[in-house]
Amino acid sequence: MEIIEKAPAKINLGVDALYQRDDGYYELEMVMISVDLSDHITVCDFPEPKIQLKTNSGFLPLDRKNLVYRAAELLMERFAVSTGVAVEIDKRIPVAAGLAGGSSDCAATLRALNKLWQLGLTLEELASLGAEIGSDVPYCIYGNTAFVSGRGEFVEKITNIKPFWTVLAKPPKSMPTASVFQALDIDHISHPNIHALREAIDKQDFEQMFKKMGNVLESVTIERMPEIQKIKNIMLSLGAKAALMSGSGSTVFGICENQTQAKHVFNGIKGFNSEVYLTRLLVN
C-alpha cells in the first residue's frame, strides 16, 4: 500500500520571544499559517525491517539528521512496528528558509505512517509525538491558521482569515535558526503584540492585522542580511499590504489582496531575486 501526504510550507504572521526557559528554549507566541507551496511525502511498505529514505533534493540528509527519518524511527520504536518502510520526499519548499519545510515533512510522515500502519492515533497524539522531534512539528500536524505558544507544543486553531495571495522570496543565503536565537537580545528590542494580531484576525479586521504583524527575530537576521529589509521595502513599494520575514529567515513574504496585485509584486521581485513563489494562504 502507498500513502501520499502533502507537506505545506508555513509563514509567520507574528513571532515574539518572551523569555528564555530553563530548558534553553525560548517561550514563544506566534501566529502561523500554511501556504499552498508543498512538499509531497510518499510512504510504502519495504521488504526489509529498516527505513529507506529517498528525495529529489541534494540538500537533504538521508539518515537520522533528517526529521522524516526520525519520525519513522519514533513510530517504529514506540509502537513495535516490525515491518520496514520506504519514504520518498518530493522537495519543493526551499531548504533552511524559515518555512518549516523539514518540520512539515516530518508531520506529513507521521500522518502518512499512522495510516499505513493503521495505528489509529489522533492528531493530538501525533502532535505530542511530533513535539519530541521538533518545535514546529506540532503546528505542522494541524496546519492552516493557529496561535502557537510554549516552544511550539501548544497549538490553538484560528478561523476567519481570508485566503490572501502571498509572494515568497528566498535570498540565496540561509540563516541557521539556532544562531539567530543565540544572538537575540529580548530586553532591548521592540516586541510585536501577538494577542492584538490574533484579535484583529478574529474580528476580520485585516487592515489592523497588517499593522500588527511583526517578527522579533528580524532584529537579528536583518542586521546580518540587509537584503531582507530591501526585499520587504520593494514588496511594499509594489503594492503588498504587508511584508515580513518568516521564522528566523531568510524568506520574506508579502501579502496581497488579489491575484493581480500579487503578480505585480512577484514580477518586480523576480527581477533581482531568483527564488520567488506565488502562493495563497491555506485557510480553515
pTM of the model: 0.96
Same domain for 144 and 242? Answer: no
284 or 28: which carries more pLDDT confidence? 28
Q: Say whether pLDDT at 270 is over 80.
A: yes
Tell me, yes or no, whether 71 and 100 share the same domain. yes
Residues 249 and 203 in one domain: yes
- Active site residues per annotation: 10, 136
Q: Do 184 and 111 share a structural domain?
A: no
Neighbouring CB atoms inside 10 A of 206's CB total 18
pLDDT-derived band at 175 (thresholds 50, 70, 90) equals confident
- Residue range 72-112, pLDDT digits in tens: 999 999 999 999 999 999 999 999 999 999 999 999 999 99
User: If you average pLDDT over residues 218-240, what whole number do you get?
Assistant: 96
Q: Give the three-state DSSP class for 210.
A: helix
Rounded to whole angstroms, the maximal C-alpha distance in the chain is 57
Domain of 99 in residue numbering reads as 2-157
Q: Considering 136, 157, 178, which residue would you say is the last residue of a domain? A: 157
Instruction: Answer yes or no: do 126 and 15 share one domain.
Output: yes
Q: Are residues 183 and 117 in the same domain?
A: no
**Domain boundary pick from 98, 126, 157:** 157
Cell of 272: 533581482
Quick one: 151 and 238 in the same domain? no
**pLDDT at residue 271 greater than cutoff 90:** no
- Number of domain units in the chain: 2
Domain at 227, CATH number: 3.30.70.890
Contact 173, 250 (CB under 8 A): yes
Distance of alpha carbon 210 from alpha carbon 28, whole angstroms = 20
Same domain? For 195 and 76 the reply is no
